[in-house]
């Protein structure tokens, strides 16, 4: 196990947020006369801060968030500018020279706010409603986000086997990082970010809501928790309260894993909103309002290095993965609900996404477990797609539940992050769009959500 505890020296976030606010405000004031390079760095800062504050629902950390371990070991940089007018050439040159020199891992936790907290530190001592490990890799310019279900059954030192969301309560980010490191097989955690659950609602409201497809009627009322969820099926522009409802809704069939999938859907929606220039006027206020909800040991220099890294990241460079496992049966663990981790698959995911020397897997795409979901009004299209693949040598293809969201363009989902195999399948089919997320069939390696283009393609083959 790596020396996790030594990496988490306490830093005051208030000064970090003030400096970041100064940088962002300076950019905002002169954006109209900024060069394309300057605007690129501005959007990197935007994405970085947005990622940081929206981690509560897994919704944007992937977009370029905070960063890594000791600055000297990670950055190749020149002097950091002290002047506030960063549109001056010298200051901009300093900013754009803040670079990542190796991959770094950030543990991000969305924390249930402690309502009766006596001071600001105590506010962040609740259970983690969301836990993510985010890897920023300059070697291939990708961001990988591993969603760790809060019900994951793990060993917490000094407390035995329990749910991973208890780690922050018992020992804060240091213990939580140690547990994640042990669970993943000695993957180093370089930095942490904790965000209270208030932040996401505020952020969604500040950007004018997010466009999301609600896959089913969602209604739940819990008087004791003062919780009411009431969403209609179909495309909706969700405000902050509604987005939180969407994230927290617990479908009996998928439990906590359904929540993780919806968090990733929200991430995609917020990602699209962030890339829209219409949010530009909202950013200064967002920075001012949301900084109170964040606790981190990231420095300003580290945030800016990640922001600079974000200039080169495209939307398709975001890879979202779910920590693999299964639901426990009612007979196990006295009926308490757990996500039982699959250690063999975890080793594969870690090797594929959280190591520096991975060169590719040996499993043939033809033997991968491929789920087919019909996302059209054309009956029998999933069966036709399965038969087409079977005739071409795919040996483990099965039909899953239809998708309530209808698609014109087929989505090929790398359910476990195997983007290489997903691209091979896309190239062999000649249609579709690849995405890396865990929103497909849970037990699949790849999920093909067939759209109208598949019907046209199969008709042309006859």
What are the tokens at 325? 């496992």
Cα–Cα distance list, 76 to 43, 72, 82, 192 (Å): 21, 8, 18, 21
CA 280 to chain centre: 22
Q: Which of 454, 369, 447, 433 is nearest to 403 (CA)?
A: 447
CA atoms within 13 A on the CB side of 200: 34
283 in any annotated domain: yes
CA atoms within 13 A on the CB side of 407: 21
| 3-state SS string for 110-164 | EECCCCCCCCCCHHHCCCEEEEEEEEEECCCCEEEEEECCCCEEEEECCCEEEEH
Asked if residues 104 and 67 have their Cβ atoms less than 8 Å apart, the reply is: yes
99 in any annotated domain: yes
Q: Which of 15, 102, 54, 64 is nearest to 306 (CA)?
A: 64
Domain count, the chain: 2
The answer for residues whose C-beta is within 8 angstroms of residue 183's C-beta and 6 or more apart is: 148, 152, 154, 164, 341, 346
Q: Is 234 helix (H, G, I), strand (E, B) or coil?
A: strand
360 in any annotated domain: no
Domain CATH for 453:
3.30.70.2390
CA 139 to chain centre: 20
358 in any annotated domain: no
Strand-pair partners of 318 = 143
Domain CATH for 187:
3.40.630.190
Question: Is 445 found in the same domain as 337?
Answer: no
Asked if residues 239 and 205 have their Cβ atoms less than 8 Å apart, the reply is: yes
What are the tokens at 217? 């009627």
Cα–Cα distance list, 248 to 114, 218, 219, 261, 455 (Å): 18, 10, 11, 11, 35
446 in any annotated domain: yes
Question: Is 387 found in the same domain as 245?
Answer: no
Asked if residues 116 and 335 have their Cβ atoms less than 8 Å apart, the reply is: no
Last residue of a domain, one of 353, 383, 403: 353
pLDDT in tens, the chain (462 residues): 333 333 444 433 334 444 444 444 444 444 444 444 444 444 444 444 444 443 333 333 333 333 333 333 333 333 333 334 434 445 445 555 667 778 889 998 888 777 666 666 778 888 888 899 999 888 888 888 899 999 999 999 999 999 999 999 999 999 999 999 999 998 999 989 888 877 778 888 888 899 999 988 999 887 766 778 899 999 999 998 998 888 888 776 667 788 788 888 887 787 777 666 676 666 666 666 667 788 888 776 777 777 677 667 776 788 889 999 998 887 888 778 899 999 999 999 999 899 876 555 556 889 999 999 999 999 999 999 999 999 999 999 999 999 988 999 999 999 988 888 999 999 988 899 999 888 899 889 999 999 999 988 888 887
Per-residue model confidence (pLDDT) at position 384: 95
Question: Is 417 found in the same domain as 337?
Answer: no
Question: Is 373 found in the same domain as 308?
Answer: no
Residue with tokens 């922050």: 168
Asked if residues 373 and 400 have their Cβ atoms less than 8 Å apart, the reply is: yes
The answer for residues whose C-beta is within 8 angstroms of residue 104's C-beta and 6 or more apart is: 67, 68, 69, 74, 135, 136, 190, 191
Question: Is 245 found in the same domain as 113?
Answer: yes
Tell me how crowded residue 365 is: count the other CB atoms within 10 A of its CB.
19
Tell me how crowded residue 306 is: count the other CB atoms within 10 A of its CB.
30
252 in any annotated domain: yes
Question: Is 299 found in the same domain as 373?
Answer: no
CA atoms within 13 A on the CB side of 221: 2
Q: Which of 124, 145, 184 is nearest to 65 (CA)?
A: 145
Q: How far apart are CA 442 and CA 325, in angstroms?
A: 9
Q: Is 443 helix (H, G, I), strand (E, B) or coil?
A: coil
Per-residue model confidence (pLDDT) at position 395: 94
Rg for the chain (alpha carbons), in Å? 22
Q: How far apart are CA 109 and CA 165, in angstroms?
A: 9
- Calculate helix-pair angle for 255-274, 240-248, nearest 10 degrees: 150
Question: Is 276 found in the same domain as 128?
Answer: yes
Domain that holds residue 414: 365-461
Question: Is 450 found in the same domain as 337?
Answer: no
Last residue of a domain, one of 353, 381, 413: 353
Question: Is 94 found in the same domain as 156?
Answer: yes
Question: Is 372 found in the same domain as 306?
Answer: no
Question: Is 374 found in the same domain as 348?
Answer: no
359 in any annotated domain: no
Cα–Cα distance list, 187 to 79, 181, 288 (Å): 31, 5, 34
Asked if residues 188 and 2 have their Cβ atoms less than 8 Å apart, the reply is: yes
Question: Is 414 found in the same domain as 282?
Answer: no
303 in any annotated domain: yes
């Amino acid at each position: 196990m790596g020396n996790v505890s030594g990496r988490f020296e306490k830093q005051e976030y208030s000064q970090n947020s003030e400096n970041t606010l100064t940088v962002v405000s300076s950019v905002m004031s002169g954006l109209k006369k900024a060069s394309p390079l300057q605007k690129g760095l501005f959007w990197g800062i935007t994405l970085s801060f947005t990622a940081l504050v929206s981690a509560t629902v897994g919704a944007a950390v992937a977009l370029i968030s905070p960063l890594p371990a000791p600055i000297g070991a990670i950055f190749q940089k020149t002097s950091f500018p002290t002047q506030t007018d960063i549109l001056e050439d010298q200051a901009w040159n300093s900013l754009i020279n803040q670079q990542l020199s190796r991959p770094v891992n950030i543990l991000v936790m969305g924390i249930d706010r402690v309502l009766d907290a006596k001071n600001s530190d105590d506010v962040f001592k609740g259970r983690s409603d969301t836990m993510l490990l985010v890897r920023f890799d300059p070697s291939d310019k990708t961001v990988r986000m591993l969603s760790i279900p809060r019900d994951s059954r793990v060993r917490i030192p000094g407390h035995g086997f329990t749910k991973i969301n208890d780690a922050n309560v018992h020992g804060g980010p240091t213990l939580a990082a140690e547990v994640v490191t042990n669970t993943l097989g000695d993957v180093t955690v370089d930095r942490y970010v904790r965000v209270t659950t208030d932040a996401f609602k505020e952020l969604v409201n500040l950007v004018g809501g997010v466009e999301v497809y609600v896959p089913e009627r969602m209604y739940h009322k819990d008087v004791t928790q003062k919780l009411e969820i009431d969403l209609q099926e179909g495309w909706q522009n969700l405000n902050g309260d509604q987005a939180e409802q969407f994230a927290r809704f617990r479908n009996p069939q998928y439990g906590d894993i359904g929540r993780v999938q919806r968090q990733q859907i929200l991430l995609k929606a917020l990602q699209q909103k962030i890339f829209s220039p219409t949010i530009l006027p909202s950013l200064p206020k967002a920075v001012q309002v949301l900084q109170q909800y964040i606790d981190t040991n990231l420095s300003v220099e580290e945030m800016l290095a990640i922001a600079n890294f974000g200039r080169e990241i495209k939307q398709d460079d975001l890879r979202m993965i779910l920590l693999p496992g299964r639901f426990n049966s009612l007979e196990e663990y006295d009926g308490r609900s757990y996500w039982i981790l699959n250690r063999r698959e975890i080793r594969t995911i870690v090797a594929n996404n959280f190591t520096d020397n991975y060169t590719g897997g040996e499993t043939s795409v033809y033997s991968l477990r491929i789920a087919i979901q019909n996302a059209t009004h054309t009956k029998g299209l999933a069966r036709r797609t399965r038969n087409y693949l079977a005739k071409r040598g795919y040996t483990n293809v099965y039909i899953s539940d239809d998708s309530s969201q209808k698609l014109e363009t087929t989505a090929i989902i790398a359910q476990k992050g195997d983007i290489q195999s997903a691209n091979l399948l896309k190239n062999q089919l000649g249609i579709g769009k690849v995405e890396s997320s865990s929103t497909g069939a849970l037990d699949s390696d790849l999920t093909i959500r067939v759209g109208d283009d598949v019907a046209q393609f199969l008709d042309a083959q006859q």
